Amino acid sequence: DNINIAWVPGAFEIPSAVKIMAESKKYNAIVCLGAVIKGDSSHNQYIASETIKGVAKISLDFNIPVSFGVITPDSLEQAIERAGTKRGNKGWGAALSAIEMANLFIELKS
């Protein structure tokens, strides 16, 4: 009940969804999850970089913790490994970070 999920078509669209969520003031924290998988060009680097910048700006502008769990694997196999198989679960880590930061923000504001 306390978790809302917003699906976006790609990583580049994450910041705009995060901004709407932050503007609503309904959330104590926002967790961004995804994978920008490397292709034949450097396009993935630009997408990942702009996504990070956008999310960080929203976090600062709206004073809300935004945890970034968007990974940049070299392959689909590597992405699956980082989603809870061989190399931990990056989404779980991002969620824990969001909870910790939400609690810290509440403490600092009181």
Read off the CATH number of the domain in which 90 is found. Answer: 3.40.50.960
The answer to whether position 86 is within a domain reads yes
pLDDT at position 1 is 67
The answer to whether position 5 is within a domain reads no
The answer to whether position 44 is within a domain reads yes
Q: How many domains does the chain have?
A: 1
Q: pLDDT 10s per residue in the chain (110 long)?
A: 689 999 999 999 999 999 999 999 999 999 999 999 998 888 889 999 999 999 999 999 999 999 999 999 999 999 888 887 776 788 899 999 999 999 999 999 98
pLDDT at position 28 is 96
The closest of 66, 52, 63, 59 to 95, measured between CA atoms, is 66
The answer to whether position 57 is within a domain reads yes
Q: Are 18 and 55 in contact (CB under 8 A)?
A: yes
Dihedral, CA of residue 43, residue 46, residue 49 and residue 53, to nearest 10? -140
Which residue type does 38 have?
K
pLDDT at position 40 is 85
Q: Burial code of 29-39, b = ≥16 C-beta within 10 A, e = fewer?
A: bbbbbbbbbee
The answer to whether position 2 is within a domain reads no
What is the domain extent for residue 84? 11-109
Question: Which pTM value belongs to this model?
Answer: 0.88
The answer to whether position 6 is within a domain reads no
**What residues act catalytically?**
43
The answer to whether position 1 is within a domain reads no
The answer to whether position 3 is within a domain reads no
